[in-house]
Amino acid sequence: MSRRGALVYATGLVAYLVAITQRTTIGVAGVSATERFHANAAVLSMLAVLQLVVYAGAQIPFGVLLDRFGPRRMMIGGLGLMAVGQIVVALSPNIGDAIVGRVFVGAGDATIFLSVIRLVSSWFPGPTVPVAVQWVSNAGQLGQVLSAVPFAALLHEQGWTPAFLSAAGFVVLGLVLVSILVVDRPADAQEGPRPESWTQSLRQLGESLRRPGTQLGFWSHFVTMSPMTMFTLMWGLPYLVFGLGYPRSEASVLLVVPVIAGMVVGPFLGVLTGRHPLRRSNIVLMVVGAMAVIWAVMLLWPGRPPLAVVLVMLVLIGVGGPGSAVGFDFARTSNPLHALGSANGVVNVGGFSASFVMIYVIGSLLDLANSHFGQPLYSLSSFRVAFLIVFVVLGVGTVGVIRSRRRTRRRMLDEEGIRVAPIWVAFNDAWARRKAARG
């Protein structure tokens, strides 16, 4: 990669770090928002839910726009929207105005990841893209660290308005860098023509939607990303503070654990994805299985689970973050580069649609336990019931992965003559070859 490409990539990493910082500020501000706006759990969850609804709903339209206008313009517009949104949140006297601000944040956030992934696909050679994408995810994980530690400390020490105005200032810094340093693609890029009309754009979107590899990417993202997003964006801090009884400062530090886990595991997943492209779905299913087991242990544990179990849960949901990036690799290898914005938009809808459903249902169930069964709003028993929605989402997503994988492999056989055997058959064959080589 050229020096110019490295500079563009580094700027994209900064932009995504900025975006994730803005996205996750509301997660560490959940308790402060309850105190500031005197809202119940369902209303408070709307701060995160509407942001995610807007984010998810904008993915496909913004993906179409990305294919037509390029990542630089989309990133500039998105960062501008986020800055406005955080200023509105900072100055909000009531929950309604704060929700409007978070809607702006969600709309701006919706442009950044798609744009950075498009930059990666344009500036990096194909085999290195999965690893480069994982480092993009790592930049986002650092954004969660910034919201969980310095932003949370600023919120605690200085209060709501100074903290969110500082977050808005961070967005402005990212906006300036993108405006100066980002170039859409190399001068000698051969990506195919951009759509010249909305008819062409919509036709391109329809083709992406029909490709089973795009659908496999959607379901992979749906099932791996949503538990971590739900926990770090909204319900993790209340659960750790009120459900498990950790001091707020310790709970904020614990929310960094998924971030660190994702940063450590992400590059390894990128290498595995690049080296074993026919086994990417198995990586996804292993991540999902591990998350399902640890959630069952957490919720079935009599009384408060020990710190070791909590840490394992946080690590495994953290792995779900980089695991979700595998979904974009399905889209990359199933679509032409000039249509990748539309395809990635479809994939990115998956995890965020699952996340906002999960967040809202959990808030509603907590309120139901409080109002109809007399449970304290954030009691451990209430959380145990509310968190059962995690298993519903994991089950639906797993079925989606398996069904779309079957169609993807059928298409690979028909069009490319590639037959993908079940993984246990591949292991048996590899073992037999190793024995034969030794004999």
Burial of 408 (0-12, 13-18, 19+ CB in 10 A): buried
Q: What is the pLDDT of residues 245-271, one digit of tens each?
A: 999 889 988 988 998 898 899 888 888
pLDDT at 86 over 90: yes
pLDDT at 135 over 80: yes
pLDDT at 341 over 90: no
The reported pLDDT for the residue numbered 173 is 95
Average pLDDT value for residue range 202-229: 92
Q: What is the pLDDT of residues 13-31, one digit of tens each?
A: 999 999 999 988 887 787 7
CA dist 91 and 98 (Å) reads 8
Cα–chain center distance at 192: 29
pLDDT at 339 over 90: no
pLDDT at 347 over 90: yes
Where exactly are the structural domains of the chain?
A: 3-183+200-433
CB 246 within 8 A of CB 36: no
CA distances from 136 to 17, 27, 141, 187, 343 (A): 8, 21, 9, 23, 18
Q: What is the pLDDT of residues 424-435, one digit of tens each?
A: 666 666 666 676
| Radius of gyration, CA atoms only, the chain | 22
With a pLDDT cut of 70, the percent of the chain lying above it is 93
The reported pLDDT for the residue numbered 96 is 87
The whole-chain average pLDDT of the chain stands at: 87
Select 3-183+200-433's CATH number: 1.20.1250.20, 3.40.50.1000, 3.40.50.720, 3.90.1150.30. Answer: 1.20.1250.20
Concatenated DSSP letters of 233-290:
IIIHHHIIIIIS---HHHHHHHTTHHHHHHHHHHHHHHHHHHH-GGGHHHHHHHHHHH
The reported pLDDT for the residue numbered 89 is 92
CA dist 16 and 19 (Å) reads 5
Q: Which residues neighbour 272 within 8 Å (Cβ) at sequence distance 6 or greater?
A: 279, 283
Count Cβ atoms below 10 Å from residue 22 Cβ, excluding itself.
Answer: 31
CA dist 139 and 254 (Å) reads 19
**DSSP 8-state assignment for residue 335:** S
The reported pLDDT for the residue numbered 112 is 94
pLDDT-wise least confident of 15-19, 144-148, 149-153, 299-303: 144-148
pLDDT at 85 over 80: yes
Burial of 282 (0-12, 13-18, 19+ CB in 10 A): middle
pLDDT at 39 over 90: no
- pLDDT band at residue 311, thresholds of 50, 70 and 90? very high
Count Cβ atoms below 10 Å from residue 43 Cβ, excluding itself.
Answer: 17
Whole-structure pTM value: 0.79
